[in-house]
Amino acid sequence: MAVQQLDVDNVIEARREYNAGLASLDKGKRVWQFPVLLLLVLALFPLVQVMDGYNYVLHLMLYTFMYVAMASSWNILGGYTGYISLGHNVFFCIGGYFSGMILAYFGVSTLITAPLAGLAAAAVGFVIGSVTLKMRGPTFIISSIALLMVARILFDNWHFVGGSNGITLPQLELDAQWMKIPYYYAFLVIAALTVWTSYKIKHSKFGLGLRAISQDEVKAESAGINTRLYKVSAFAISAFFVGMAGAVWGEYLTYIRPNIFLIILVAANLVLMCILGGKGTVAGPIVGAILLIAFNELSVVYLGSSELNILGTGVVMLLALMFFPTGIIGTLAAKKKLPRFLDWD
């Protein structure tokens, strides 16, 4: 058998090159001007209301901000850490009820108590996560659905908070023309905070640990990462912003009821937004939220009935999963076609 050319130095050199080639490429400078500009524009937007008639647009926008916040928040657990929660709106509910009850009994606006509501949700998240995150993926998902059902039954039967009829909340004393503006800013601030936190986490040691967990938890554990603490913290953090959003949403709607918070369609929306946009990216949930809400609005206009809406959402989700599993941002990034202004990672 012929003996091939085997030069010791060649092999060692080739090996070094090969290993270097496997190292990831460095990213260029990040574009921070675009997000800041966007924020500025959005902050100034309500001035149009001076001319009145933009209430619907304002509503749509604050609704979008809320979902941006919730989807980005979900992304911390689902996208960065890889644990898919299909019952995340439990925290939406906890936040809503926490602040809602304070508002109903003490008259303190949720705009002030929202952070506390967030903390309450985070605390619950921490406790629940300690139990349910012991499990691998599939069982965790199931426990999140079960959690949603449990919460639904509990809240439906808890007379102190009004059971399934819920409680009506007092409105802010403002003209119809300015009604939506405080909430607009509240949700804008919450959304901005969430996205900023998401970005910070992604570029921190914590975020790196989360990513390790999502790829291979056993290896992460053996690398010295306290996976338990990391996972549960991620769960709590992702509950925090969702809780805040719930608090403000309750006051905005002027009533709190189990069936506005605890329906599985809300959970589905969160998941779908992150999938459409790009799980595990910073900008993904934002893009996904905008797209899905736009899609919903359009389909309500053209398709009307809610069954077709559900069908449509399911089809969109299926197609996205089958053909663009990394979402819009992910797919563009993989093809190196991501416009700089969207690359917030």
Partner 1 sequence: MPELLEVRDVVAGYGRGPAILTGTSLTVRPGQVQCIIGPNGAGKSTLLKAISGLLPVRSGEIRFEGERIDGMRPDQILRKGICFVPQERALFPRMSVRENLRMGGYVIDDKKVLESRIEEVLQQFPILRERAHQRAGTMSGGQQQMLAMARTLIVKPKIVMLDEPSLGLAPKIVQQMFEIMHMLKDRGMTVILVEQNAIMGLNNSTWGAVLDLGKTLFEGPAPEVLADPRIKELYLGKAKAAA
Partner 2 sequence: MSNVIQIVILGLALGGVYALMASGLTLIFGVMRIVNLAHPVLIIAGAFVTFWLFRLYGVDPILAMPVAAIALFCIGVILYKLIFEKEAASAKYSEMTVLLTFAVAMIFDGLLGWLFTNTQRVTTPSYATDAIFIGDIFIPTGQLYAGIASLVVIGLLLLFLQYTRFGYAIRATTQNRAAAQLMGVNVGLVSLITFGIGIGLAGAAGSLVSFIFSFFPAKHWEWIAILMSLVVLGGMGKLGGVIAGSLILSVIAAFVGAYIGSTWSTMTFFLALFVILLVRPQGLFGDKIEEA
Residue 174 touching partner 2 (CB under 8 A): no
| Short-list 101, 289, 106, 260, CA closest to 187 | 289
Residue 198 touching partner 2 (CB under 8 A): no
Nearer to partner 1, 19 or 138 (CB): 19
List the Cα angle 73/142/270 in 5-degree steps: 30
28, 53, 107, 138: which one binds partner 2 (CB under 8 A) = 138
The 8-class DSSP code of residue 161 comes to: G
Residue 82 touching partner 2 (CB under 8 A): yes
143 binds, among partner 1, partner 2, none (CB under 5 to 8 A by kind): partner 2
Nearer to partner 1, 18 or 105 (CB): 18
Binding map of partner 2 across residues 199-238, x = CB under 8 A, - = no contact: ------------------xx--------------------
174 binds, among partner 1, partner 2, none (CB under 5 to 8 A by kind): none
- Quote the distance between the C-alpha of residue 63 and its chain's center: 14
Would you state the structure tokens that stand for residue 1, as one six-digit string? 């058998």
The 8-class DSSP code of residue 168 comes to: E
Nearer to partner 2, 28 or 138 (CB): 138
Nearer to partner 1, 29 or 336 (CB): 336
31, 179, 268, 290: which one binds partner 2 (CB under 8 A) = 268
153 binds, among partner 1, partner 2, none (CB under 5 to 8 A by kind): partner 2
| Short-list 32, 1, 104, 70, CA closest to 237 | 70
Q: Which amino acid is at 80?
A: Y
Residue 312 touching partner 2 (CB under 8 A): yes
Rg (CA), the chain: 23
Contact segment (CB under 8 A) with partner 2 among 33-41, 90-98, 129-137, 187-195 equals 129-137
137, 229, 294, 340: which one binds partner 2 (CB under 8 A) = 137
Would you state the structure tokens that stand for residue 58, as one six-digit string? 């304002």
Three-state secondary-structure class, residue 255: strand
Give the phi and the psi of residue 331 in degrees, each rounded to 5. Answer: -65, -45
Contact residues for partner 1, defined by CB under 8 A: 1-4, 6-8, 11-12, 14-15, 18, 22
| Contacts of range 319-327, beta carbons closer than 8 Å, 24 or more positions apart | 320/272, 320/275, 320/276, 321/275, 324/276, 325/275, 326/278, 326/279, 327/274, 327/275, 327/276, 327/277, 327/278, 327/279, 327/281, 327/284, 327/287, 327/288
11 binds, among partner 1, partner 2, none (CB under 5 to 8 A by kind): partner 1
Q: Which residues bind partner 2 (CB under 8 A)?
A: 82, 84, 86, 131-143, 145-150, 153, 156-157, 217-218, 264, 268, 271, 275, 305-315, 317-318, 321-322, 325
